[in-house]
Amino acid sequence: MRQRPKPRLRLRPPSRRPRRWANRFSKRCAACHTIDKDGPNGIGPNLHGIVGRPVASHPGFAYSGAMKAKGGVWDAAALDIYLADPMKIVPGTRMAFAGVIDAADRQALILYLEDQSK
């Protein structure tokens, strides 16, 4: 009996996913944010080390009252919730961004943010 060909794996290994976001970050976030170490603040704060950073804690950035009042730490779970719908999760935020709707997309984005902070 001949062996059947193995089904092709459709999922990419998670470690390769953040790479897709290199391009997307520049399209969707870089108008307002830098991610490189010691990068300047723009319309939004520099995001280097954002995963695990306390909310509204980047020196030299003037956060909105809404963001300062949020409290907590940007762990992966908090980022996942926020990035889905920023203006709903932090009403009054100055981050005028509609959100990343797809959950797998957000996951990849958060991995990318983590990756860029190494």
Regarding 108 and contact with ligand HEC (CB under 6 A), the answer is no
Number of C-beta neighbours around residue 45 at 10 A: 24
Rounded distance between C-alpha atoms, residue 104 and residue 80, angstroms: 10
Cβ contacts of 50 within 8 Å, gap of 6 or more: 74, 79, 113, 117
The DSSP bridge partners found for residue 3 are none
Applying CB under 6 A, among 20, 94, 114, 115 the residue interacting with ligand HEC is 94
Q: Find the part of the chain contacting ligand HEC (CB under 6 A) among 2-10, 11-19, 61-69.
A: 61-69
Quote the CA–CA distance of 118 and 56 in Å, as a whole number.
20
Q: Say whether residue 48 binds ligand HEC (CB under 6 A).
A: no
Question: Residue 36 Cβ, how far from ligand HEC at the closest point, in Å?
Answer: 14
Q: Provide the token pair at 54.
A: 């306390």
Is residue 28 a contact point for ligand HEC (CB under 6 A)?
Answer: yes
Interface residues toward ligand HEC, by CB under 6 A: 28-29, 31-33, 43-45, 47, 50, 55-56, 58, 63-64, 66-67, 74, 79, 83, 93-97, 100, 109
